[in-house]
Amino acid sequence: MRAGACHILVKTKQQAEEIKQKLANGGNFQQLAKKHSICPSGKRGGDLGEIQPGQMVKAFDNVVFKKALLTIHGPIKTQFGFHLIKTLYRS
């Protein structure tokens, strides 16, 4: 199985909640990722490309491979910080 996903990674849960609210109010995921994400993928609008199970940490995998597509999930806490994750497709 493979999936396409993008995410926004920030240091605090509060920051993630604030960005999620902006997204809920019509904010652009790619622009918010470029502005706020501390992951190198932020420069690409949060695009992680295609990933396979086991490539990311378990909490991240659980969202990408089990939760609803095209929905923003999070904040999801990992050792890296707090993620807002959107799965684009699975194949």
CATH number at residue 17: 3.10.50.40
Residues 7-57: tens digit of each pLDDT:
999 999 999 999 999 999 999 999 999 999 999 999 999 999 999 999 999
> Rounded to two decimals, what is the model's pTM?
0.96
What is residue 9's predicted lDDT score, i.e. its pLDDT? Answer: 98
What is residue 48's predicted lDDT score, i.e. its pLDDT? Answer: 97
What is residue 18's predicted lDDT score, i.e. its pLDDT? Answer: 98
- Relative to beta strand 47-51, strand 3-10 is antiparallel
What is residue 76's predicted lDDT score, i.e. its pLDDT? Answer: 97
Residues 56-77: tens digit of each pLDDT:
999 999 999 999 999 999 999 9
CA distance 46 to 30: 6
CA distance 91 to 84: 21
Reference 7, options 26, 20, 24; nearest CA is 20
Residue 61: exposure state from Cβ atoms within 10 A (0-12, 13-18, ≥19):
middle
What are the structure tokens assigned to 22, written together? 């902006």
Total domains present in the chain: 1
Residue numbers of the domain that contains 66: 3-90
